[in-house]
Amino acid sequence: MTKKQKKVLIRIIVAAILLVILHFVPLEGLWLGLLYLIPYAVIGYDILRKAVLGIMHGEVFDENFLMAVATVGAMGLGEYSEGVAVMLFYQIGELFQSVAVGKSRQNISALMDIRPDYANIEAEDGSLEQVDPDDVEIGTVIVVRPGENIPVDGVVLEGNSAVNEAALTGESIPVDKNPGDAVSAATVNQSGFIRCEATRVGEDTTLSQIIKMVSDAAATKAPIAKIADRVSGVFVPAVISIAIVTTIVWLLAGKEFGYALARGISVLVISCPCALGLATPVAIMVGNGMGAKNGILFKTAVSLEEAGKIQIVALDKTGTITKGEPQVTDMVPAKGISEEELLGYAYALEKKSEHPLAKAIIARAEEKKTVLQEVSDFQALPGNGLRAALNSDVLTGGNMKFISNETAVSPELISEAQKLAGEGKTPLLFAKGGKLLGMIAVADVIKEDSPQAIKELQNMGIRVVMLTGDNERTAKAIGAQAGVDDVIAGVLPDGKESVIRSLKEQGKVAMVGDGINDAPALTRADIGIAIGAGTDVAI
């Protein structure tokens, strides 16, 4: 909570305590009214001040004015506790709204925090100089070492590496980068030493554009809020007019001025926007309580309102439908080779590799308690291949193109590799001494409960769409396993946001995501749902 929010909370607590105490005070009339002015002033100061300022600036017809007139009127009629109570609950509602807005701003600040801290620039003497990424100009050559964040958008000039682009694309499997390939700010260079030329810097980088989109989307008002703005411009003057007419009618009917005025004030009290100040916060608390019991947190009243109207659910693939980390899915040993032998040789080779796909094989081998054989002369070769010496034999591993240059691959195995690739898996082949050992497929597998969850959404009459930065073949394979209605592949962060825009033309849309890359789409959707395992920014 901010200092201002804490002060409001203190005033709410103090006013509530005073209200309870005064309920038991054995006084009546004027003296009791004077005592009730204390909690009323404590809790109503801000509203009264805004109402007075509104009058001074000619902006009379707003919620603050009506709240002030209604509660002052209640106090004037001798309904002291009611006047204080209405103002008290109204301020509670205002506090809820303030906290929600503050959290939105914190999320945008969190996006800013993932920006790289420095860029390595080559000096004339060949040494590396660290500079602020904002000081990098287009065309500048930067150096990125293993484990460092890429500071700006650019293109690889020299070197080979696997780059983790999860911060932008959400995809867990890193992308191999070679000379000529594009790289983006805030992605992580995981294995090799690369030199890049800056192509987009400062506010033009992909990350900066994401931050701008989130800020813009968060600043837009919900449709119901816009309607409320339009209604309030008519509602407040209409209520005041009715109160005046009521007073005049009772005067014409022969009643005393005090009697007629009381009836006019009654109109204001009855018309006081209690739905905003009392009913809405209570409804939010009840809804939040029920949701929390089921592991669901609602951010605002609008979220509660829109949830029941959803017609389309857009699901991010990685980390939402899938587990978000690669695992071994298939073992296809060559003739005369057992699965244990294939895994043992693959383990010996991949144990030396820094490539993320190697972690899946290492994890499977350690799970099976496979004995590690030590290799020597290890090399990570351009073109997605590994080579090392095991005793007197050469051990190699990599993709189909690489292994095909090392040894003969049977048509049956080629067909099986194509089948696995069509299922969204990455086939890795291994050979020893020029003889094929077999193939191990690695993939980001779907969560066990994803198909059931998607089926339940469809049974509710909701159309389910899967969005992903993956290629179309991989995406369709995962989509078929999960049972979604539609698959939209090859979508980058700005693309996800634009897809949500187009889906909104077809109905109310909920976006479900877990990564920083999903943030613009989450904010653009009618309702954004961040899963608990996701990043803080998405949540």
What are the tens digits of pLDDT across the range 449-473?
899 999 999 999 999 999 887 778 7
Residue 428 CA, chain-centre distance (Å), reads 33
Q: Is the dihedral of CA 285, 291, 297, 300 positive or negative?
A: negative
Provide the 8-state DSSP code for 118. Answer: -
pLDDT in tens, 515-539: 666 778 888 898 988 876 554 545 4
Q: Are strands 509-513 and 527-530 parallel, antiparallel or unpaired?
A: parallel
Catalytic residue among 113, 176, 216, 316: 316
279's tokens: 């009913």
pLDDT at position 280? 55
pLDDT at position 277? 47
pLDDT at position 222? 47
Is 132 designated active site? no
pLDDT at position 273? 57
Determine the Cα–Cα distance for residues 33 and 35; give it in Å rounded to an integer. 5
Determine the Cα–Cα distance for residues 383 and 156; give it in Å rounded to an integer. 15
pTM of the model: 0.50
Q: Are strands 376-381 and 175-177 parallel, antiparallel or unpaired?
A: unpaired
Determine the Cα–Cα distance for residues 34 and 454; give it in Å rounded to an integer. 61
Percentages of the chain per state (helix, strand, coil), in multiples of 5: 50, 20, 30
Residue 341 CA, chain-centre distance (Å), reads 44
Low pLDDT (below 70) residues in the chain: 59-62, 97-98, 100-115, 167-172, 210-233, 269, 271-289, 291-295, 297-302, 382-384, 493, 515-517, 532-539
Provide the 8-state DSSP code for 263. Answer: H
310's tokens: 């959803």
The residues, ordered by sequence, that sit 6+ positions from 489 with a Cβ below 8 Å of its Cβ are 468, 469, 470, 471, 472, 474, 475, 476
135's tokens: 């000081």
C-alpha dihedral (445, 449, 452, 455), degrees to nearest 10: -60
Q: Are strands 312-316 and 463-467 parallel, antiparallel or unpaired?
A: parallel
Q: Are strands 509-513 and 161-164 parallel, antiparallel or unpaired?
A: unpaired
Angle between helices 3-23 and 29-56 (to 10 degrees): 150
